């Protein structure tokens, strides 16, 4: 595997593993909202993913858009912004209608007027697309500014948002204040991050390090001062990316590696279409008198992956294409 190919593979692998874990996280959040977590295990899982999962996606996204943004092709950048806006609006309506119609048999409690608030308060799960859109727009605006200044301001905003949580009243700006620093680090320091990640050749050791540090992150997160969580997130993200590099380097032909690389390539489709499955699988298993968090997570991931795969294929055809691509 060449270095160039390897870089594409590990980024796709990271997105593939990440999108499966997003489904696991949303399933665990739904479980916590519906049942008492007597053992505390589901809370640990949620704490672990809150620490680094979304920061990882935003850092990787920042790295991936660096070249296109720095080309200074304003027409192309404007079209990309319109693509994000279109995707956000279309799927906001889809998720809103689905949740509104399922109010009678789920605990979503979607209000009829929530669709009117999507400019500042996205409907559940779709906030990720809106935050990516805003991060992309901000980065276009500041792309030629000093990297330390931009990242420093983003870091300060993140820490202040953690200290004075509630300033933005749970709006998209609250999430953006938390997450943009990771996008900025990925964009402005993409080359440095790659150099750091590829500096060490001890692949097996890094796999072990990430596996061993994962339960530690889950246990210590609640005890770290909120304004320092950004640093825990950064370290965990970098360890995870090193883990992905190591797996793709050591096991490039392993079926699971290939699967995760493929899923990384269709991660947007999985993200957009996965929203019904955390609740649907939990309800289905309960109807069958099966109460298993692990099985619920596994089934949710399986359904989300299959649906995302089907959506990626259907998106090539005109009757469905408008759901995923601006006409």
The confidence score (pLDDT) of residue 40 equals 75
The confidence score (pLDDT) of residue 39 equals 65
Percent of the chain with pLDDT over 90: 70
Instruction: Answer positive or negative: Cα dihedral of 49, 54, 57, 58.
Output: negative
The confidence score (pLDDT) of residue 169 equals 72
Helix residue ranges, H only, 221-289: 229-250, 255-265, 267-273, 277-287
- What do you get for the CA distance between the two ends of the chain, in Å? 37
pLDDT digits (tens, 9 = 90+) for 181-238: 999 999 999 999 999 999 877 788 999 999 999 999 999 999 999 989 999 999 999 9
Shortest CA distance to 218 belongs to which of 59, 33, 53? 53
Residue 35 has pLDDT above 80, yes or no: no
The confidence score (pLDDT) of residue 2 equals 40
Residue 112 has pLDDT above 80, yes or no: no
Q: What DSSP string describes 43-97?
A: HHHHHHHHHHHHHHHHHHHHHHHHHHHHTT-HHHHHHHHHHHHHHHHHHHHHHHH
- pLDDT, the chain, mean: 90
Residue 1 has pLDDT above 80, yes or no: no
The confidence score (pLDDT) of residue 10 equals 94
pLDDT digits (tens, 9 = 90+) for 235-272: 999 999 999 999 999 999 999 999 999 999 999 999 99
Residue 324 has pLDDT above 80, yes or no: yes
Confidence of residue 4 (pLDDT cuts 50, 70, 90): very low
The confidence score (pLDDT) of residue 6 equals 45
Residues 81-89, mean pLDDT to the nearest whole number:
96
pLDDT digits (tens, 9 = 90+) for 141-191: 999 999 999 999 999 999 999 888 767 777 899 999 999 999 999 999 999
- Residue with the bigger pLDDT between 207 and 38: it is 207
pLDDT digits (tens, 9 = 90+) for 284-309: 888 888 888 889 999 999 999 999 99
Confidence of residue 36 (pLDDT cuts 50, 70, 90): low
Residues 47-53, mean pLDDT to the nearest whole number:
93
| CA distance linking residue 221 with residue 185, whole number of Å | 22
Confidence of residue 105 (pLDDT cuts 50, 70, 90): low
Residue 38 has pLDDT above 60, yes or no: no
Given a contact cutoff of 8 angstroms between Cβ atoms, the answer to whether 277 and 25 are in contact is no
Given a contact cutoff of 8 angstroms between Cβ atoms, the answer to whether 57 and 15 are in contact is yes
């Amino acid at each position: 595997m060449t270095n160039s190919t390897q870089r594409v593979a590990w980024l796709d692998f990271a997105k593939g593993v990440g999108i499966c874990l997003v489904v696991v996280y949303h399933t665990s959040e739904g479980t916590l909202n519906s049942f008492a977590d007597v053992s505390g295990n589901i809370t640990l899982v949620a704490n672990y993913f809150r620490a680094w999962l979304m920061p990882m996606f935003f850092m990787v996204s920042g790295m991936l858009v660096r070249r296109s943004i720095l080309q200074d092709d304003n027409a192309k950048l404007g079209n990309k912004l319109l693509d994000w806006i279109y995707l956000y609006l279309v799927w906001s309506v889809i998720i809103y209608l689905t949740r509104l119609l399922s109010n009678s048999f789920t605990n979503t409690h979607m209000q009829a007027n929530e669709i009117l608030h999507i400019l500042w308060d996205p409907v559940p799960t779709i906030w990720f697309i809106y935050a990516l859109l805003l991060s992309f727009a901000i980065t276009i605006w500041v792309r030629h500014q000093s990297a330390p200044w931009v990242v420093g301001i983003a870091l300060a905003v993140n820490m202040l948002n953690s200290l004075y949580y509630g300033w933005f009243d749970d709006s998209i700006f609250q999430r953006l204040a938390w997450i943009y620093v990771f996008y900025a680090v990925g964009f402005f320091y993409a080359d440095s991050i790659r150099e750091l990640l590829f500096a060490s050749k001890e692949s097996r050791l890094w796999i072990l390090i990430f596996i061993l540090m994962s339960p530690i992150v889950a246990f210590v997160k609640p005890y770290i001062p909120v304004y320092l969580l950004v640093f825990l997130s950064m370290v965990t993200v970098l360890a995870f990316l090193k883990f992905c590099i190591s797996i793709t380097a050591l096991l490039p032909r392993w079926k699971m590696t290939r699967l995760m690389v493929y899923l990384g390539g269709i991660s947007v489709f999985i993200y957009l279409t996965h929203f019904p499955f955390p609740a649907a699988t939990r309800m289905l298993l309960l109807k069958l008198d099966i109460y298993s968090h692990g099985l619920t997570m596994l089934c949710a991931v399986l359904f989300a992956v299959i649906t995302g795969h089907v959506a990626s294929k259907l998106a090539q055809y005109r009757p469905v294409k408008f759901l995923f691509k601006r006409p």
